[in-house]
Every structure is written in structure tokens, then in C-alpha cells.
A and B are shown apart, each in its own frame.
Chain A
Amino acid sequence: MADKVLMKGNEALAEAAIQAGCHHFFGYPITPQTELAAYMAKRMPKIGGTYLQAESEIAAINMVLGASAAGVRAMTSSSSPGISLKGEGISYMAGSDLPALIINVQRGGPGLGGIQPSQADYWQATKALGHGDFQVLVFAPSTVQEMVDLVQGAFDMADKYRMPAMILADGMLGQMMEPVVLPEKSEKEPIAKPWASCGHKGEREHNIVNSLYLTPNALENLVKERYERYETIKKNEQMAEEYLTEDAELILVAYGASSRVAKGAVNKAREKGLKVGLIRPITLWPFPTDAIKRAASHAKALLTVEMSMGQMVDDVKLACEQKLPVHFYGRTGGIIPTPKEILAEIERLMA
């Protein structure tokens, strides 16, 4: 078994991407994701890969678009304000059925906001990364190890379903150091990409990677085909951790950094004899509705805990079909809730 090493989340993400066969990174400096780009700048030249510091986030995502269109694994990373700038390119990639990995190490917003950890880009990631009818795969790790573990799968699923994937981390996960076991270099044969614009060598018709469809019927048909793919993903790719949910009367729903605090609060509540559990979405899109539905069949209430003003609440309400009350506790602006605060909310709700 591979040894454990102590790594920052941002660096672990970068190394995992390299091990997953990504040799093309395009980025632009922004706190708190900087270590990721710096790690890539150090590693890529050693393995014959590309690290390129672009002139803007917009240019970086479009470099990813170009590299992905050529058929290679490509990625970019940024933090909240930078992701807003990447929205255009992400929409074009979704509209051109291009895979890629985009990492958002979230910070507070809106605007320049702050540089402390936040989860206020949930809506952006899951509902509106750019214009048009589209989704991207969204993964929400809660430990440095999980950041590493999700990267390979994110690339594989992006390739398989031909769509961008996002790892939605936050400044806490990006900056914290934890022991991790790094993955072995992937031995998997990369998926064939017969659609790639990489030079036809006189052996086939020319490939066109494009998102322009001026005929409404053609565009509608294409979007509908994409949504059939999305339905398959919703059915097959939901991921969530269910923790002490079986007998729980109150179930917390939290992802990423806030789920770590929520888990601590659940443990404290259990010590006090309160029947409390936690559902931790690992995929935010597709949202783990099945896990929420299971919880709704026996719990009495749900409590979402977020580092935002409650952007996930609507998804939880829809998933449980409003069969039970959905409460919310959150902090925003870069503040991480404490286990004590969450425990107090649990006790208030269960009193």
C-alpha cells in the first residue's frame, strides 16, 4: 500500500489530476486556490506537460476548451470570482459536449467578497454556471483524501458523458493539510475520442467542435439528447454518505467543509442521547435525491447546514417532496459554523 503523505488540499488535488492523466493545466492566480497552480507549475515541466498562466480566467478556460477539443485531458482551477469569468467558456464547452475538470476553491462573495472559505457558489455550480440549458457534474469533497479520490472519477465521468465536471471545494479544504494516500498512476486506457479536432490525417471527414446551431429544431434536438444523458446521470451517479441516519429523527444535510462540522455536532448530539444523523452529498449535481428520500421516509425533520445563506435548501425540499420540514442553519461571508452553534440549533429544533 502506498504511504501516507501530508499535503495541502490544493496540492493534493493537483497531484491527483496528474495521476489521472491530466497533463494540461491552464490557470490564473487567485486566492485561495493558488497552491494548486503553483504545484502544477512545479510538476508539469518535469513530466512534459503544460502549465500555462493565462492572461485571464476567461483565456484560461478557453485554453482548456481548445486542449479538450483536441482530445486531451485538461483542467483549470480558480476561486469564486474567477469561476464567474469562466462561466462563458464552461457554457461553450457544455454546448460543444467537451469534457474538462474545473476546480472551484470557494471564497466569500458576491463581488470580490472575501478570501475566507465559503459555500456560496452552490447555485452557480449546480444551476447556472453560464447561459443556456446545461448542467455540469459537481463533486463536493469533505477531506483532502476525498479531494484526491474524486479527481480520477470526475475526469472519467466527464469523458464518458462528454461534459465538464467541477470539484466544488472551499478555502478551508484547499488550505488545510491532512495525511493522504495518493492514487497510483491510472493504468486505464483513455476513452477513445473520435470526435476530437486533432487533425484528420486524410483518414476521415473533418471534425467540427461547435456549439452554434442556427436551426431551432436542430438545437432543441441536441439539447434534448443532452438532457437524456443528464437523466442517465441522475439515475446512476448520485453519491452521498449516510451517517447514523437509520434511527435518526433529525437528519442534517451538509456537504464539504460544513459537513465536517455538522458531523462533529451529530456526534455531540448522540452523546446527549439525541437521535441525529447526517446525509453528506458527495455529488451536488446530480443531487443525491435518493438518500434524501430514504431519510424522508422515517425522519421527522431535516436541517441543512451550509456556509451560505441556504442555497441548498430548495434542492433538499424538492428531494424530500416537502414531506417533512426542512430547517436551515448557516454562516456566510467566510465564517465557518462551529459544532457548538450547530448543536444549539439541533437542541432547539428537538426541544
Chain B
Amino acid sequence: MDVVFKKPHALTDAPLHYCPGCTHGIVHRLVAEVLDELGVEGKAVGVASVGCSVMSYNYFGCDMVQAPHGRAQAVATGLRRALPDGVIFTYQGDGDLAAIGTAETVHAATRGENITVIFINNAIYGMTGGQMAPTSLPNQITQTTPYGRDVNSAGFPVRVCEMLSTLDGVALAQRVTVDSVKNVKIAKAAIKKAFQNQIEGKGYSIVEVLSTCPTNWGLSPVDALQWLRDNMIPYYPLGVYKDADKRDNMKGDKE
């Protein structure tokens, strides 16, 4: 019998611990498929961050390092410099990347650190039980914004791709989601490009994946996807914010 569907080699057999309906599983699979297709699992080193995806070190079949909260891109920088031929990626959530790890993120990006960053933005802290994230939307109810995120006291959400797209070191900044087959295909192409950029030495590539957290949003998986479409995508428009292959508008005319 022909095998028509199988697990990517770069995913281990460990059962995922994610909640039903969480989109981490899809993104894990996409990353693993890309590692397979590019044939780089053997020289890849992934950096797991702190948050729901901390145990991604058990799921990706390549070598893995677990970083302190927010420090994944600093750890990836150390790996990058130590392993010139390695394929180095981080897998981080919004709290890790855009709150406690903002400095590490901005500076890895502006250095043009030749790494691939997979950024899961689900607008909430999942692992600790649903607190406000740097990307929680205005008026979004979370455990620590029980009356809704009041931008007058809690400030505004961070738009990471927009912010990083102003930096010269960034080769690719693209926001995708995985709410439909079409969008999953776009997400995979973006992730693949983000790894290809690294292999070709083009510099820092980040793919932000708008994701769901049905458990902490208090929604069914299907309703969560609809909430993402209705609320997140308008605030965080999908698209390519910077692609060094295609435009040079951030670098001025002389380059």
C-alpha cells in the first residue's frame, strides 16, 4: 500500500502536550516539513523558549537547546557563531519574544543575525494560564485584564513584524496564520523561505504566525479560529512586511 500521508522525519514520536485546537501542532509540523524538504535536520539546532512551546525540544528531531525566558535569540546567536554551517532557529511565543525578550529580538534582528525565528502570536500567555500578553488586543479580557485591556493603563499591543521591518538586518519579516488550508500553505512557504534565507546567508528572517489559544480564550477550537479572523487579523494584518529580495525601501537609494 502506498503511504500518502506521514509524519515528517524532523518530528519525533513524542506525543504533543498542546491543548485541543491549539495551532502549535500545525506550526510544529510545518517547521518539520521544511527541515525535511531542505534536508537540514542533521545540521539544525533549534532553540526552545519559555512558554507553552518550552517542550518543543522533545518534538523536533534535530538537536535542541532550551533557553531562559526571552533569551532564545541570544542563545541562537551563540549557536550561530559557534556553528557556522549550522541551521539555527528559535521557536518563541509572544510573551517570550515581544515582552521579556524584546531587547534580544530587536538586537538579533538589527545585527542581521543569520537565524530563523518562528514567532507564535496568540495574544495571550498560555502556559501560565491566560495573562495579558504584549500582543493582547485592546479590550481583550485576560486573567490580568479582567475588565479588558485598557490601553490607557496597560498600553498598546506590539506589532512585531512592522517594528522589525524598519531594521536593516532583517531579510524577511512576514505575518501569516494557519486558520485555513490556503493560509497553511502560505505559512509553510514563508517558513521555508525563512530557512532558505538563512542557508543562503541573507540574514535574519522572522515568520509571525497568528495562532489560537482556545483554552485561555475560553472558546471552542472552531470559534477560536473565527475570533482570530474577526479580531486578530484586522489588528495584525497578514502579509510580507520586509523581503530583502524584493524591495530595498528601508535602506535608502544608495545601496
**Chain A residues in the interface with B (C-beta under 8 A):** 24, 26, 50, 52, 54-56, 58-60, 62-72, 74, 88-89, 92, 96, 196-203, 206-212
Interface CB pairs A-B, < 8 A, 20 = A52-B77, A54-B107, A58-B103, A59-B107, A62-B71, A65-B74, A69-B78, A70-B86, A72-B82, A92-B68, A197-B64, A197-B79, A199-B43, A199-B45, A199-B86, A200-B42, A201-B42, A202-B42, A206-B12, A210-B48
Apart from A24-B81, A66-B78, A208-B63, list 17 A-B contacts with CB within 8 A: A54-B77, A55-B106, A59-B74, A65-B75, A66-B65, A66-B77, A66-B80, A70-B45, A70-B83, A197-B45, A199-B43, A202-B42, A203-B42, A206-B63, A208-B58, A208-B65, A210-B57
Indicate if the CB atoms of A199 and B57 lie closer than 8 Å.
no
Within 8 A of A (CB), among B1-55: 12, 41-45, 47-48, 54-55
Measured CB to CB, the closest approach of chain B to A136, in angstroms, equals 16
Please, what's the 1-or-0 string for B94-105, where 1 marks a CB less than 8 Å from any CB in chain A?
A: 000000000110
B61: Cβ under 8 A from any A Cβ:
yes
Indicate if the CB atoms of A88 and B68 lie closer than 8 Å.
yes
Size of chain B's interface in residues, with CB distance under 8 A? 39
Indicate if the CB atoms of B66 and A212 lie closer than 8 Å.
yes
Give every chain A residue within 8 A of B68 (Cβ-Cβ): 62, 65, 88-89, 92
B206: Cβ under 8 A from any A Cβ:
no
| Chain B residue with Cβ nearest A60 | B74
B119: Cβ under 8 A from any A Cβ:
no
| Chain B residue with Cβ nearest A203 | B42
> What separation, in Å, do the CA atoms of A203 and B63 have in the docked complex?
12
Indicate if the CB atoms of B66 and A209 lie closer than 8 Å.
yes
Give every chain B residue within 8 A of A201 (Cβ-Cβ): 42-43
Indicate if the CB atoms of B45 and A52 lie closer than 8 Å.
no
- On whether A26 and B78 interact (CB within 8 A), knowing A70-B86, A197-B64, A206-B64, the answer reads yes
| Chain B residue with Cβ nearest A207 | B63
Measured CB to CB, the closest approach of chain A to B57, in angstroms, equals 5
B76: Cβ under 8 A from any A Cβ:
yes
B60: Cβ under 8 A from any A Cβ:
yes
Indicate if the CB atoms of A63 and B83 lie closer than 8 Å.
no
**Chain B residues in the interface with A (C-beta under 8 A):** 12, 41-45, 47-48, 54-55, 57-58, 60-68, 71, 74-83, 85-87, 103-104, 106-107
Give every chain B residue within 8 A of A211 (Cβ-Cβ): 66
Indicate if the CB atoms of B74 and A198 lie closer than 8 Å.
no
Indicate if the CB atoms of A56 and B103 lie closer than 8 Å.
yes
Measured CB to CB, the closest approach of chain B to A314, in angstroms, equals 30
> What separation, in Å, do the CA atoms of A197 and B12 have in the docked complex?
16
Measured CB to CB, the closest approach of chain A to B73, in angstroms, equals 8
Give every chain A residue within 8 A of B47 (Cβ-Cβ): 66
> What separation, in Å, do the CA atoms of A190 and B67 have in the docked complex?
25
Measured CB to CB, the closest approach of chain B to A46, in angstroms, equals 16
> What separation, in Å, do the CA atoms of A199 and B76 have in the docked complex?
13
Indicate if the CB atoms of A55 and B78 lie closer than 8 Å.
no
Indicate if the CB atoms of A202 and B78 lie closer than 8 Å.
no
Determine which of B60, B78, B83 lies in contact with A199 in the assembled complex, contact meaning CB atoms within 8 Å.
B83
Indicate if the CB atoms of B66 and A198 lie closer than 8 Å.
no
Give every chain A residue within 8 A of B103 (Cβ-Cβ): 55-56, 58-59
Give every chain A residue within 8 A of B57 (Cβ-Cβ): 208, 210
> What separation, in Å, do the CA atoms of A66 and B67 have in the docked complex?
8
Determine which of A55, A72, A88, A200 lies in contact with B62 in the assembled complex, contact meaning CB atoms within 8 Å.
A200
Indicate if the CB atoms of A68 and B61 lie closer than 8 Å.
no
Indicate if the CB atoms of A55 and B64 lie closer than 8 Å.
no
Q: Which 8 A-B pairs have the closest CB atoms?
A: A66-B78, A62-B74, A197-B63, A70-B82, A67-B78, A66-B75, A55-B107, A63-B78
Determine which of B44, B86, B104 lies in contact with A62 in the assembled complex, contact meaning CB atoms within 8 Å.
B104
Give every chain A residue within 8 A of B64 (Cβ-Cβ): 197, 206-210
Indicate if the CB atoms of B82 and A24 lie closer than 8 Å.
yes
Indicate if the CB atoms of B42 and A69 lie closer than 8 Å.
no
Give every chain B residue within 8 A of A200 (Cβ-Cβ): 41-42, 62-63
> What separation, in Å, do the CA atoms of A64 and B61 have in the docked complex?
24
Give every chain A residue within 8 A of B66 (Cβ-Cβ): 96, 208-212
Indicate if the CB atoms of B82 and A66 lie closer than 8 Å.
yes
> What separation, in Å, do the CA atoms of A200 and B83 have in the docked complex?
13
Give every chain A residue within 8 A of B83 (Cβ-Cβ): 70, 198-199
Indicate if the CB atoms of B65 and A69 lie closer than 8 Å.
yes
Indicate if the CB atoms of B76 and A66 lie closer than 8 Å.
yes
| Chain A residue with Cβ nearest B60 | A206
> What separation, in Å, do the CA atoms of A96 and B106 have in the docked complex?
26
Centre residue among B43, B44, B66, B103 by max chain A CB count within 10 A: B66
| Chain A residue with Cβ nearest B66 | A210
Indicate if the CB atoms of B12 and A69 lie closer than 8 Å.
no
Give every chain B residue within 8 A of A208 (Cβ-Cβ): 57-58, 63-66
Give every chain B residue within 8 A of A196 (Cβ-Cβ): 63
Give every chain A residue within 8 A of B45 (Cβ-Cβ): 69-70, 197-199
Give every chain B residue within 8 A of A64 (Cβ-Cβ): 78
Centre residue among B58, B67, B85, B87 by max chain A CB count within 10 A: B67
Determine which of B12, B71, B76, B81 lies in contact with A50 in the assembled complex, contact meaning CB atoms within 8 Å.
B81
Indicate if the CB atoms of B104 and A59 lie closer than 8 Å.
yes
Give every chain B residue within 8 A of A197 (Cβ-Cβ): 45, 63-65, 79
> What separation, in Å, do the CA atoms of A77 and B248 have in the docked complex?
38
> What separation, in Å, do the CA atoms of A50 and B84 have in the docked complex?
11
Give every chain B residue within 8 A of A58 (Cβ-Cβ): 71, 74, 103-104
